[in-house]
Amino acid sequence: MAESSGAQRPVRVALDAMGGDHAPAAAVEGAVLAARAYGCEVQLVGRADDIGPELARHDIKGLQHLLPVVHAPDVILMNEHPASAVRSKRQSSMAVAVGRVKAGQANCFVSAGNTGAILATALLGFRRIDGITSERPALAAPIPGPRASTILLDAGANVDCKPEWLAQFALMGSLYAELLWDRPNPRVATLSIGEEEGKGNAQLVAAIPLIRALPINYVGNVQGTDVSASVVDVVVADGFAGNIYLKGAEGIVAAFTELLRDELTRSLPRQLMAAALRPAFRALRGRMSYEEYGGVPLLGVNGVCVKAHGRSTGYALQNAIRVGMQCVRLDLVARIRERMADASRAPPAAMTRL
């Protein structure tokens, strides 16, 4: 399959140039930044008439060959109903980009567009990996912490989860952390409202025996406080709780930043000192911002697919492209396929329920 590229060849990215609140400007900027920084090929997929003028605004001397425009006539809007948009717009930038990955013309798909449409297009185009039964692929979001990041999945794709889906997320999350950080036996936890076994809602309580039976380093429940405390490597949640955590965290960072700005501009002396400390605040923002992390891989389908934040800037999209390249280089999809195949063959018995 197309997604398992050699580690030496330059990665080719199919970028949805029409997705995101600031499309196509941010997408084009992200592509230029990524081509320059990483030497990767970024195929700008979308309406050629919209992309061309944006590309002309950048100085891309020496990079032209890395930035081909691939025309796709249809655009899926940010607030469109995902299922019907995907059904009716067969020539959307998303569908064409996924088609290129399937055809081996690109190694990964990156989009800052309509989340539901990204999930549906990836599922329709790439299909589930054998053994994965969740309604949609899982969003594996990085959560920054003071010492290390933690991967949270599912961060919002699957709302009501069957217990075996949560076990599948645990298996995929563990493998992703292992490959991403070259860390054997990453610590995997489930997100709950107390650490004691038995704490949690019905779907979680039913999932825990399945997760315990997996060949991973499952350490039990953690609470919301622990996700950003760098105490485990992977946190498994259903997409409802995971999304509320993730969006909640984003909101708290925004509130904290606003309150900090408010306090630091209360008087002229404070303003002057705060101005001198600007590099510290900028570094802090970098360490807490989704822009730095850029994108969230979708795990569980036969193709590398990275979802960037709808509000992504060019810089955020550069980082989303970096995440896609990483997944390609790690051969993540083929490794998940292997691991799922092993899991379905091997004891213990509970594994077969996956």
Contact between 82 and a copy of itself by CB under 8 A: the answer reads no
Rg (CA), the chain: 21
Q: In the range 273-312, which residues lie near a copy of itself by CB under 8 A?
A: 273-274, 276-277, 280-281, 283-284, 287-288
Q: Which stretch binds a copy of itself (CB under 8 A): 20-28, 63-71, 129-137, 193-201?
A: 193-201
Interacting residue with a copy of itself among 145, 215, 220, 310 (CB under 8 A): 145
- Nearer to a copy of itself (CB atom), residue 1 or residue 77: 77
Q: Which stretch binds a copy of itself (CB under 8 A): 54-62, 177-185, 271-279, 337-345?
A: 271-279
Query: How far, in whole angstroms, is CA 40 from its chain's centroid?
Result: 19
Helix (H, G, I), strand (E, B) or coil at 203: helix
DSSP line for 292-345 = HH-EEEEESBSSEEEEEPTT--HHHHHHHHHHHHHHHHTTHHHHHHHHHHHHHH
Binding mask 218-247 toward a copy of itself (x if CB under 8 A, else -) reads -----xxxxxxx-------xxxxx-xxxxx
Whole-number minimum distance, CB 207 to a copy of itself, in Å? 13
- Nearer to a copy of itself (CB atom), residue 67 or residue 235: 235
- Cα separation values, 150 from 68, 140, 203, 236, Å: 35, 10, 22, 10
* φ and ψ of 157, to 5 deg: -85, -40
- Nearer to a copy of itself (CB atom), residue 74 or residue 250: 250
Torsion sign, CA atoms 267, 269, 272, 276: negative
- For residue 231, how many C-alpha atoms fall within 13 Å in the half-sphere facing its CB? 15
Which residues are at the interface with a copy of itself (CB under 8 A)? 144-146, 156, 159-160, 191-193, 200-202, 223-229, 237-241, 243-256, 258-260, 262-264, 266, 269-270, 273-274, 276-277, 280-281, 283-284, 287-288
